[in-house]
Amino acid sequence: MGGGYYDRDVGLTESAHGGEGGHHTRAAEEAMSQRGPATELMPRGRLLVCGNKDPIVVAMDVTRSRGNDSKLVYDKMPMLYGQILMQGYLEDPAISFAAIGDANGDRAPLQVCDFAAGTDLDRWLTKIWLEEGGGGTGQESYELAAWFYARRSQLAGGKGYFFFTGDEGFYPVVSAEHLGQHIIGEPAAGTPAGSAVARRFSGLEIAAGEEAKAIAAQTLFAELAAKYHVFFIYPRKDREERRSDIDAEIAARLRREGGKTGDVRVSLVWNNCNDLDLHVIAPSGEEIYYGHKKSVCGGELDVDMNVRGESEKPVENIYWPPAGAPPGRYRVVVQNYKYHEATHGKTEFRVEVVAGKKASHYEGTIAGTGRDSNQQVCEFDFTSQSAAAAEATYASYGDDLILAQWGAVLPPENILVVDESKAVVDAMLGAIALVSGRRDLDGYANDMKVRLQGEDRIAAIRQTLAALAERCRAR
């Protein structure tokens, strides 16, 4: 794994590139410049084993609103790792980096690095692809990362430290579909051989034919907390900065997919008595179909035909009312629920998608029944909002709402709010110093002073860590 201290000329005198709350260097810009996902970082079929005494996970939101934070972490990694050793906060640290996106649309919603130490950290950190996607819903797939590290990491030492960094909430459920797409199954060709070695650890062997099952995020965060001290670091933004990022995430998806403004309607037609079913997965991950006809986000299946094979010219329809469709990515699936025709052959179908002023038409054939027959018809992005709907979307990114959701799965003192991205690493170091018992808050503030942090930063970090320090003092 490597080890010891490491240093790097991060070019602190070079021109810096702007990012909310701080700057990253040109060196970081060049180092964090992957143009696509690296195979060895894909989590599918992988297990992580940490032989060091003190495992640390840094799981970073790399969507549009927080992509630059990863570059700041790159710049500060020698300081983070070096301070942990030099100050004796931990004896034998190793770090695994993770990159988090949105499983409802991003190509790489979870990227995972092996645990590493010393100069090996750079080798893994620079493999991360900053996809800068996101769904524009106020949620990203933090819960998918919680599933992976709770169930796919083996720690040889004691309890680890886990830091989520981001500014959004998580989805309430990890879907079976997302687990099947991204985690459960055989690893991709080119995945490091270490995965095979990890399979020999009896406590973490992956069972052949393991089934992907939906599970509540709250359950996963509880499992993760049994293995790691889990923190959420939240770089605060003002209202206008947050609105700008929300709009940018939505606009990026629309540009990529050619989406237009307008209401959303999806209709399915076919010409026999078989019971075909229309399924639409909304940007939130909620699935609208015969078993869940009305969604929290306003979608409704208002026409559901051929339950009993009553028509040879059936139609099914899912729609969002005017100004009621949430922005983001939608996915359309057709299923043959049941045959009513005597001949169990293929059924031809047509789907019409209306998104704003654009109408799209799709044709296909379907055979078999149930989930085995599922045909994904298309994916599309959409945004069109009234002033009231826009306010509702922005509200989903509100500080109070996001912090309340995290507060339901983490102790309040483990939610660390910072005023600028540059303070994220200071918060990580402080949390480690306090929880390990190597420093109290005054001692850590003095360490910050020794490394020439300004009085304003020290005062802000004191406030960020105050509740955690009090809990540690009372142990």
CATH number at residue 447: 3.40.50.410
Q: Is residue 389 part of a domain?
A: no
Per-residue confidence of the chain (475 residues) as pLDDT tens digits? 334 456 664 433 344 454 444 567 777 788 778 888 899 999 998 999 999 999 999 999 987 656 577 788 888 888 899 999 999 999 999 999 999 988 877 789 999 999 999 989 999 999 999 887 655 556 789 999 999 999 999 999 889 999 999 888 899 999 998 999 999 987 766 555 444 333 433 344 555 456 788 999 999 999 999 999 999 999 876 555 555 554 444 344 334 333 333 478 888 888 889 999 999 999 888 899 998 998 888 899 888 888 888 877 788 889 888 878 888 899 999 999 999 988 888 999 988 888 876 767 788 999 999 888 999 999 988 875 444 444 554 455 567 888 999 999 999 999 999 988 889 999 999 999 999 999 999 999 999 999 999 999 999 999 999 999 999 998 7
Q: Is residue 272 part of a domain?
A: yes
Q: Is residue 326 part of a domain?
A: yes
The residue among 350, 382, 414 that closes a domain is 382
One domain for residues 162 and 23: yes
Q: Residue 435 and residue 219: Cα distance in Å, rounded?
A: 23
One domain for residues 191 and 43: yes
Tens digits of residue pLDDT in 99-144: 998 887 778 999 999 999 998 999 999 999 988 765 555 678 999 9
Q: Is residue 388 part of a domain?
A: no
Q: Residue 446 and residue 343: Cα distance in Å, rounded?
A: 79
One domain for residues 327 and 209: no
* CB distance 384 to 200 below 8 Å: no
**Listed residue (52, 95, 90, 53) closest to 77, CA to CA:** 95
The residue among 330, 348, 382 that closes a domain is 382
Q: Residue 185 and residue 382: Cα distance in Å, rounded?
A: 32
| Residue 104 phi, psi (nearest 5) | -85, 10
Q: Residue 437 and residue 425: Cα distance in Å, rounded?
A: 18
Kindly report the CATH number assigned to the domain that includes residue 325.
Answer: 2.60.40
* CB distance 121 to 12 below 8 Å: no
Q: Residue 200 and residue 73: Cα distance in Å, rounded?
A: 33
Q: Residue 213 and residue 231: Cα distance in Å, rounded?
A: 26
Tens digits of residue pLDDT in 33-42: 888 889 999 9
One domain for residues 319 and 232: no
One domain for residues 38 and 116: yes
The residue among 349, 382, 415 that closes a domain is 382
pTM: 0.67
* CB distance 148 to 112 below 8 Å: yes
One domain for residues 376 and 466: no
Q: Residue 60 and residue 425: Cα distance in Å, rounded?
A: 12
Q: Tell me the residue range of the domain where 190 lies.
A: 16-250+396-474
One domain for residues 457 and 319: no
One domain for residues 321 and 232: no
Q: Is residue 390 part of a domain?
A: no
One domain for residues 70 and 140: yes
One domain for residues 219 and 323: no
Strand partners, 349: 270, 364
One domain for residues 208 and 236: yes
Number of domains in the chain: 2
